[in-house]
Structures are given as structure tokens and as C-alpha cells.
Amino acid sequence: MHEKIGIPNLAIDEPLIFELGNSGRHSVDFEKTVLSPGSGDIPASALRSDFDGFPEVSQVELVRHFIRLSQYNYSVDTGFYPLGSCTMKYNPRVNEDMAGLAGFASAHPEQPATFCQGALELMHRLQRCLAEITGMDRVTLQPAAGAHGELTGMMMIRAFFRDRGETRSKVLIPDTAHGTNPASVAMCGFSAVPVSSGPKGYLETGDVLELMDEDTAAIMITNPNTLGIFERNIADIADAVHDKGGFVYCDGANLNALMGIVRFGDIGCDLMHMNLHKTFSTPHGGGGPGAGPLAVKEVLAPYLPVPLISRTEDTYNLDYDLPKSIGKVRSFYGNFLICVRAYAYILALGGSGLRRVSENAVLNANYLRKKLEEDYHLPVKTETLHECVFTDRKQHGYGVSTLDIAKRLIDYGYHPPTIYFPLVVSGALMVEPTETESLQTLDRFVDAMHAIAREAREKPDLLKNAPGLSKITRVDEVAAARKPVLRWIKQEAVNGE
Amino acid sequence: MDYVPNTDKDIASMLRTLGMDSIEECFEHIPKGLRLDGPLALEDGLDELRLVRRMRAMSERNADDCSSFLGGGAYRHFIPSVVTHLAGREEFYTAYTPYQPEISQGTLQSIYEYQTLMCMLTGMDASNASVYDGATAAAEATLMAQRVTKRNRVLVSRTVNPEYRAVIKTYAEAGSREVAEVPFNERGTTDPGALSSLVDDGTACVVLQSPNYFGLIEEPGLYEKAVHGSGALLVGSFSEPLAFGMIRPPGDYGADIAAGEGQSLGMGPGYGGPFLGILGCSSRFVRNLPGRIVGKTVDMEGRTAFVLTLTAREQHIRREHSTSNICTNQGLCALTAAVYLSALGADGLRQVAALNHDRAEYARKKIQEIRGAELAFDGPVFNEFTIRVPGDLHGLYERCLEERIIPGIPLENRYGELGDCMLVTVTEMNSLEGIDTFCGVLGKILS
């Protein structure tokens, strides 16, 4: 029986930066201007006069402030995140150093091509790697996140049909889909038509056949889906959609399960985005930046965003000559420094390494599934890959919910799994360990979950009042939304808000 | 190196627990015809030493020893070491999105501070926690304006950054919405007469940029009445936020939404990304802001706490009825901006802005003295300006490159009528000596 690994540890309660420091303090210095003081040629009416409220802190106060804040955070570097569909794997340090190389970090996007061959070469090679991994023909690195990749793909599909004088209005979306799927679809003027997953947790071809028609532009599938289950009817589903002239879009958020094992382009998918900040180890950054490259089959190539990264012999270039392009989905070429990290990761792993990643991600998840299924209810018995979904059904009788289990895990020193998603499972608890966790970590996590299941039966209050060891307890989210306070305001300036 | 801790022994032990003989059994339920029967055609993985050598060689094929006068939406500024170190704290950059506030107060408080600093910088009431970049911020601003006014038409000044205009158009096209452009006049700024005649009661918003793409400071006061008079919203976009260390920000000149680029706030140009989309608005539009927002609240013991709030706007709650599909944003970049601005304070912000402006003015005056070069537009600028070379601009550009000087951005591909013009940007990173050398080279080439 392991002891809890969550322990109290002294941390300084840190005020807002605006409440620190004193007038006249500063953290950095700049050369004084030699020429006429600033702004003689700018008319007074255009000059700014109000600089009230900006922090005035010394460098030591600045450092202590942000170091203390950092210490309030849980992170991959502090511990395990069994977060389903997020792929919180280890972020290799060498990738950070590679992104910091001066030639990459200081490169200006408007540098002439002859002066940034290294950047263009990296992007071109990364595109080729991602095309190989996904079995697609062409890749764009422009999208800044997975949802952005989805949007780009939907825009390209829309452009394809308009080019043929067709206006299709619908996109089929499984009920297990991530919220960004229907949101991306709606931003392109399509309606999201739900398709129910079958009783075994995957889509049945018949259900798709029933809904698929010539007014449907595409189906958006996540594979494996958010239950961790492989969509085994994908080939027949793809046929059903293609027969009526539609596209199969694959949301690649769960790609960590299948690298080197299944190639989506080979099994009927026409477009696919990847999340570099999931599968390809780039850091989550507390909410970004990520990157969501989109891979497509040649038939959609004319609609790719510009510029393309082209290659003639050994020279790389930016190519804007694509008359049917959807245009641009962001400024410049993509989250380049994130691409640098992902490319370094792919170079370090190689083809067989990527396959080992997926094999171990799936093995780890299946191991956890086996060890947890006695204590926690597993609603679907179908085989799962890199993640699986439990519910709180066995804990209901004690008045304990998924939320309580999640919050109690914090006291044991773990970040909770994904909760209440996918929506098709009531009280969902989605667990994805990734391949970078050791057997020891998994066993200790199982022990914690086992202990919590016992606490649920014997001392449910421990869960209901959790977490007790974190910096704060549960927060009042209702008050936060009802009377939003979204910024600090200097006290004298407050006039009865 | 695959970063997989489990050894063959660990794996064997786990397989025994599962009653399996090999890892392949985990995949047997996938129909065989769908599974790859050979390896991926990628080279073998490299050990760290060879990886570093390969990447370093590639990075060295990017010239970083040039004297650069590039801007136009990405800027070279000095990043104090303390900023890099603090934004490089692993607890910040390896953390997940702060959906569990109890163990994410570091991220949440720093983003609350970021939101506050963006309000101070842009003069707006509220800010979100970031979007992807200035271009998508401008596009999201137009979608916001359409939701708020329930009108369809968007007007964008041609002096707005061409990349921003392109993205606004791509987003509008996807939603079958109309975008029309407002021309600029001979002074290089938005034509007030044209704007007044184009804006009507079907216009959701007018997008202006100041300083504009040519570097000129616009006079939004000239347009504000026409825009608001017709019930449209004013979107104030920007690509160089350090300008607001000297000139009036969007909130000051009557913008309803501020949408721009934050890359100058502590991030390098990074060949175009990751950048930082700043999006702020008047308080009455807050519930229409896309993206994450951090709010202040209390925990069950009454302690101050920060939490993601107003989530009913977002995709994970409202799905196809959300304000935007955005999920992952630019969290770490927002943190970097918060650290940078906190490090500078008001004084530092004013100083760095003054340095930028003075260097640009120094260069502008020297270039005006060169025969064969002239200013394309006269008005006041911050740190960028447009010059005209009536002779052979292309030849001048190539000759500068030979001297390892990147003289600016030729405008011919972006503005057909300005084919003999170039955008020149000068920041605190350009020394006076460097500017002297640049002008000397220009003078030599043009004589």
C-alpha cells in the first residue's frame, strides 16, 4: 500500500505584479536616446499620455514573482498527467535548445529565400515526414493549432465543391467528437449532422450509409475515437462517403496510438490534421502555442493555403502561385519554432522509433485498463488502444462523482484524467498515460486510484472536500461567470463598478 | 532516442499481466488489411549528438549576421535575459491548459496579469487570453462585429497589413460574408472621404491599422464619427505594440475592438511563429469575445483564486454554437508578453519606444538626403517608413544583399501601384553605426 505522494510544501502567497514594487523601480535598462527626445514630429494629438498602472518592479522582485507563480503549477515535468486525448508526453529538452538556435529563433519571415534556406529546408522536410507518417500527398504547416487545421481542411473542402458549382451544406460528425469539430464546421457555413456510435463504441457503416447523401460534404472522424476505440469500419465508411462524392476528414488528435501501424491515407482518409503539441512532443505551454499541420490527398492540393514550400534541386522557395488556393489562414508560414521541435523529435525517433512510441502508448493504456477495471466501471468492453474511458457508476451509490474522484487524485499528487468527455459517456473519466511513463509510475497511479475507490466506499467526504493539499480548494465558478472580473484595476480608479 | 522508459523486462511483465505474448496482440483487433505491413520510409533515429549537429547545420543555413531593416508585421527587438529565463520555467511551459484551477494558479494568475497588461497597453476594457496571431485576431474581430451588429459587411482599409487582409478575406469567404476595401490617399493613409461613402447601415465593422503597414500613424479621429454614426464597430488593428509606448492606442481613439500582434513583446521573429494574437474589446462586448478568458473568483475558503471563465462562449461547451472553434491558443507567448511588459514597466516601455522612433527618424532623415531615394509618404511614423526608388529598386535590393544588408521589404507584390517602393524598419537593434553604413551603401549604389 503506497503512501500518498501529494504532500504539503511551503509556498509564498504571491500578490498580483501590479501590487508589488514601488514607483521608480525597474527590471531592465535601455540606452538613453541621443537624438531629439522622442517625438517632435508626431503631433501632440497622436501622443499617448496615460501609462498608469504598469508594474514598477526591480529585477529581483520580477524574478521572485514569476518563479513563485511557476511553483503553483502542476506540469509534465512535475508529474503524471493521465489526460485522455491530450497526449501529455515528456517534452524533450534538446528540442527546446534546437528551437533556440539563433539561425531559427532570429530568422525574420521576410528574409529573402537565399538567406533562410535552413528554415525552408526544415519545413519542407517536416512536411515530407508528416506525409509519410499519414500516408497523404501534401502538407501545410500553416495552421497554428488542431482546431485551426480542422478549419483549414473544411475551408478547402468548401472551395473544392464551389469550384465544381456545388453547394453542399452538411458534415457528418460522430457523437464522440471533440467540440472543435462541429465548431470548425459551423465556421465554414456547414451544419453538423450527428452520427451515433454503435453499441460497441465504434461507428457502424449502416448508420453512415443512412445519413450520407449528395448534400453532405464530408464526414469528420477521429481514429481511434475519443473512447480509445479503433473505428474498424473506416474503410467501408470511407467507401460510403466517397460513393456520394464526399470527403473523409480525420481528426488526428489520437495519432499517438497508430504511428507506423496504420496510415490514414491508405485506408480511405482524404485529409488529416495532426497536433504537434500532442503526438510530436512539443510542450503544451499552459495552453499553447501548438501547431496543427494539415495533410491532404493530391485532389485537394490546388486549394492549399499559400505560400507552398517548394524545392528545385537543392534550393527551397516560397511559392505563391496557386490560383485556387483558399488564401491564408494566418500571417506568414506557421508556428515555425514549434515545427523545429517536432522535426527534431522525428529525427531522434526515426520510423521504427515512432512505431515503438505507439506500441508502448497502447501497451501502457491497456495495462492501466486491466488494473483499473475492477475498481472503476468500464462502460464499453471493446478493445481500446492508447486511452480508455471509465465512469463513476461504481461510486455513485456512495454519493461520489467523477468530479470528486478527479479532485481527490490531486491530493495524491496527480493531475486528474480528462473528465466528462466524451459526452456520450455519463461521468466519463478518460485515461491516456502515453509511452513516456514508466511501469513504476503506472503502478503508483493504480495504487492511488485503488485507494480513492476505497475512500469512496468508506470515507466519501475525503473526496467531496478534495482537494485539500493544493494551493486553493475548489473554486466558485458560478460567481466568476455571473460577475466577471477579468483584469486588475488600480484602486483609486474604481468608481462603483 | 524514443524517450520510452520501459525496458524489455518491464514490457514483458506488463504483457504477462495482460495475458499477451507480444505487443502486436494489442493491435490484432484492427482488420489486417488496414494495418501497415512494412516500416515507415523515414531514416533511422539519430542519437542526440548527431541530432544536434544536423539541426545546427540547418540553422546555420539561415543568415543571422546581416544588418536587417525588416519589419512589416514581425519585428526584431531586444529580449532581456530575464524574460527568456522566466518564460523558460518548465512549470510554465510543460503545463497543460489550466482546466483544473487548483493546480494551475501559476498559469491562471499570470494570464490574468497578461489580460490586465493588454488592457493597459491597448486602452481596452477587457482582453482574452490570446489567439494565434495578429492576422487571425483581426479576422476574429470581424466575426465578433458581425455577431454583435448582426450585419454582414466588413470594410478593411488597404493600409492594413496585407497578411491580415488576406486572412480576413479567407475567413469571410468561408462564412459567405462580404469584405470590401477602403483605398488610401496620396498621403498613404486611409482616405476619409472614401470611407464615409463606403460605410453604411449594412456595415458590421471597419478595420483600421495604426501605425499602418506603411509605418504611418493614422488619424482615427477622422473616421470614428463616420463609422459609429452608421452603427458599425471600429476595429483598431496593429502589428507593432511597442508603438503604444509613444502613440495613442486603439482604446484611446474610439476602437470597440483592438486586434493585433504581440510578437514584439519578448518573442523573436522565429521565421513567422509562434506569434501572439491580442484581442480586446469594450466591456459591453465581452460575452462575444472568442477564446479563453481568465477571471478572478474565490475558493471555498474565501481565498483569491483565478479560473477560466465565461466558458459558455467556447467550443467545448457550445460546440457548433460557440463564438469560435479556438481551443489551444498561444498561452506561453502570452506569459512571455506579461513578463516582458512587467520587466519594462511604463518607463521601459517609453524608453524602448523612444529608441525605436529616434533610430527610425535618424535613418529617415539620412535617406532623404540621398539622391535617387525619397520618402513615398510624408506623415509621422513610429519605427517604419516607406521609401521610393524611382530607378532600379530590384537592383538596389540585390546589391544590398551582397553587402549583407537586408534593406527592407519591396512592396511590388503587395501594392501594385507602389512597385518602386520599399518598407524600411528600424528598431533599437539597429545601431547608429549600422544605419550610417546602410545609408552609405545606399548612397554608393544610387550614385
* DSSP result, A175-220: TT--THHHHHHHHTTPEEEEE---TTSS--HHHHHHH--TTEEEEE
pLDDT tens digits, one per residue of B299-329 = 999 999 999 999 888 777 778 887 788 888 8
Instruction: Please give the average per-residue pLDDT across B91-96, as a whole number.
Output: 97
> Could you identify the residue written with the cell 521572485?
A64
Q: Cell numbers of A359, please?
A: 506500441
Subunit contact B34:A234, Cβ cutoff 8 A? yes
Subunit contact A260:B40, Cβ cutoff 8 A? yes
Q: Is residue B144 part of a domain?
A: yes
Pairwise CA distance, residues A188 & B162, whole Å: 22
Residue B144 CB neighbour total at 10 angstroms:
25
Q: Is A108 on the interface with B (CB under 8 A)?
A: yes
- A contact test, residue of B15, B94, B222, B271 with most A CBs within 10 A: B271
pLDDT tens digits, one per residue of A122-140 = 999 999 999 999 999 999 9
How near does any CA of chain B get to the CA of A119, in Å?
7
Which member of A108, A132, A178 has the closest CB to residue B42?
A132
Q: Is residue B87 part of a domain?
A: yes
Pairwise CA distance, residues B363 & A491, whole Å: 43
pLDDT greater than 70 at residue B428: yes
How near does any CA of chain A get to the CA of B230, in Å?
25
Average pLDDT, chain A: 94
Residues 56-85 of A with CB under 8 A from B: 56-57, 59, 62-63, 65-67, 69-78, 81, 83
Note whether B276 and B341 are within 8 A (CB).
no
Same domain, B326 and B429: no
A493 neighbourhood in chain B, CB within 8 Å: none
**DSSP structural state of residue B154:** E
Domain boundary among B340, B367, B388: B340
How near does any CA of chain A get to the CA of B194, in Å?
22
pLDDT greater than 80 at residue B46: yes
Subunit contact B335:A286, Cβ cutoff 8 A? yes
Instruction: Please give the average per-residue pLDDT across A322-332, as a whole number.
Output: 98
The neighbouring-strand residues paired with A317 are A310
How near does any CA of chain A get to the CA of B350, in Å?
9
Options 3.30.1490.20, 3.10.20.880, 3.30.479.30, 3.40.640.10; which CATH number does A94-348 get?
3.40.640.10
Instruction: Kindly give the pairing relationship between strand A294-296 and strand A138-140.
Output: antiparallel
Which member of B297, B325, B343 has the closest CB to residue A475?
B297
Subunit contact B136:A332, Cβ cutoff 8 A? no
Buried-exposed string B104-119: b where 16+ CB fall within 10 A, e elsewhere:
bbbbbbbbbbbbbbbb
A179 neighbourhood in chain B, CB within 8 Å: 314-319, 322, 327
Same domain, B150 and B179: yes
Instruction: Please give the average per-residue pLDDT across A417-446, as a whole number.
Output: 96
Domain boundary among B340, B372, B401: B340
Same domain, B269 and B387: no
Q: Is A53 on the interface with B (CB under 8 A)?
A: yes
pLDDT greater than 60 at residue A24: yes
Which residues, 6+ apart, have CB-to-CB distance to B204 below 8 Å?
Answer: B142, B145, B146, B148, B149, B151, B152, B153, B154, B232, B233
Same domain, B144 and B193: yes
How near does any CA of chain B get to the CA of A331, in Å?
5
Main-chain dihedrals φ then ψ at residue B356, nearest 5 degrees: -60, -50
Average pLDDT, chain B: 95
Same domain, B247 and B395: no
Which residues, 6+ apart, have CB-to-CB distance to A389 below 8 Å?
Answer: A84, A226, A227, A228, A378, A379, A380, A422, A425, A428, A429, A430, A431
B275 neighbourhood in chain A, CB within 8 Å: 331-332, 335
Pairwise CA distance, residues A364 & A1, whole Å: 21
CATH of the domain at B292: 3.40.640.10
Which residues, 6+ apart, have CB-to-CB distance to A384 below 8 Å?
Answer: A224, A227, A228, A229, A365, A366, A369
CATH of the domain at B377: 3.90.1150.10
- B contact test, residue of A66, A374, A405 with most B CBs within 10 A: A66
- For residue B403, name the pLDDT band (cuts at 50, 70, 90): very high
Q: Cell numbers of A450, please?
A: 485503488
Same domain, B128 and B155: yes
A332 neighbourhood in chain B, CB within 8 Å: 73-74, 163, 271-273, 275
Burial tier of A40 (Cβ tally within 10 Å: 0-12, 13-18, 19+): exposed
Q: Is residue B435 part of a domain?
A: yes
The pTM of the full predicted model, rounded to 2 decimals, is 0.97
Quote the pLDDT of residue A34.
63
A34 neighbourhood in chain B, CB within 8 Å: 358, 432
Which member of A110, A263, A473 has the closest CB to residue B102?
A473
pLDDT tens digits, one per residue of B111-133 = 999 999 999 999 999 999 999 99
- For residue A12, name the pLDDT band (cuts at 50, 70, 90): confident
Pairwise CA distance, residues A332 & A321, whole Å: 15
Same domain, B287 and B312: yes
Pairwise CA distance, residues B412 & A153, whole Å: 31
> Could you identify the residue written with the cell 496620396?
B186
Same domain, B190 and B319: yes
Report the amino acid identity of residue B308.
Answer: L
Residues 427-456 of A with CB under 8 A from B: 435-439
Report the amino acid identity of residue A305.
Answer: P
pLDDT greater than 70 at residue A1: no
Pairwise CA distance, residues A7 & A411, whole Å: 8
Residues 363-402 of A with CB under 8 A from B: 363-364, 366-367, 370-371, 383, 385
Q: Is A335 on the interface with B (CB under 8 A)?
A: yes
**What does B100-132 look like in DSSP terms, one character per residue?**
SGGGBHHHHHHHHHHHHHHHHHHT-SEE-S-BS
Domain boundary among B283, B307, B340: B340
- B contact test, residue of A73, A294, A435, A439 with most B CBs within 10 A: A73
pLDDT greater than 50 at residue A38: no
B353 neighbourhood in chain A, CB within 8 Å: 38
Quote the pLDDT of residue A36.
53
Instruction: Please give the average per-residue pLDDT across B332-357, as a whole number.
Output: 96
Q: Which domain holds residue B259?
A: 81-340
**Torsion of the alpha carbons at A37, A40, A43 and A47, rounded to the nearest 10:** -10
Q: Is A321 on the interface with B (CB under 8 A)?
A: no
Residues 130-189 of A with CB under 8 A from B: 132-133, 144-148, 150-151, 154-155, 158, 178-180, 182-189
Q: Cell numbers of A5, please?
A: 505522494
Q: Is residue B20 part of a domain?
A: no
Which member of A32, A90, A261 has the closest CB to residue B3?
A90
Provide the number of structural domains found in chain B.
Answer: 2
- Compute the Cα dihedral for A326, A329, A333, A338 and give only its sign: negative
**DSSP structural state of residue A83:** B
pLDDT greater than 60 at residue B42: yes
Q: Is the peptide bond before A43 cis (omega within 30 degrees of 0)?
A: no
Percent of chain B with pLDDT over 70: 100
Same domain, B187 and B204: yes
Burial tier of A17 (Cβ tally within 10 Å: 0-12, 13-18, 19+): buried
Subunit contact B63:A410, Cβ cutoff 8 A? no
A109 neighbourhood in chain B, CB within 8 Å: 73-74, 269, 271-272
Pairwise CA distance, residues A406 & A403, whole Å: 5
The neighbouring-strand residues paired with B297 are B305
Pairwise CA distance, residues A117 & A100, whole Å: 17
A131 neighbourhood in chain B, CB within 8 Å: none
Pairwise CA distance, residues A276 & A253, whole Å: 9
Pairwise CA distance, residues B33 & B20, whole Å: 22
How near does any CA of chain B get to the CA of A453, in Å?
21
For the ranges A19-33, A264-278, A326-340, B349-363, the lowest mean pLDDT is seen at: A19-33
Sequence spans of domains, chain A: 94-348, 351-480
pLDDT greater than 60 at residue A308: yes
Same domain, B283 and B365: no
Subunit contact B328:A287, Cβ cutoff 8 A? yes
How near does any CA of chain A get to the CA of B442, in Å?
18
Subunit contact A348:B135, Cβ cutoff 8 A? no
Same domain, B307 and B362: no
Same domain, B421 and B303: no
3-state secondary structure of A126: helix
Q: Is residue B7 part of a domain?
A: no
Note whether B23 and A260 are within 8 A (CB).
no
Residue A477 CB neighbour total at 10 angstroms:
16
CATH topology (fold) of A351-480: Aspartate Aminotransferase, domain 1 (3.90.1150)
Note whether A59 and B386 are within 8 A (CB).
no
**DSSP structural state of residue B28:** T
pLDDT tens digits, one per residue of B187-246 = 999 999 999 999 999 999 999 999 999 999 998 878 899 999 999 999 999 999 999 999
Subunit contact B40:A267, Cβ cutoff 8 A? no
Q: Minimal Cα distance from A191: which residue of B?
A: B320
pLDDT tens digits, one per residue of A487-497 = 999 876 455 44
- Range B35-39, long-range pairs (CB < 8 A, 24+ positions): B35/A261, B35/A262, B36/A260, B36/A261, B36/A262, B36/A263, B36/A266, B39/A260, B39/A351, B39/A352, B39/A355
Angle at A75 between CA A69 and CA A77, to 5 degrees: 115
B136 neighbourhood in chain A, CB within 8 Å: 144, 148, 329-330
ipTM of the predicted assembly exceeds 0.90: yes
Q: Is A263 on the interface with B (CB under 8 A)?
A: yes
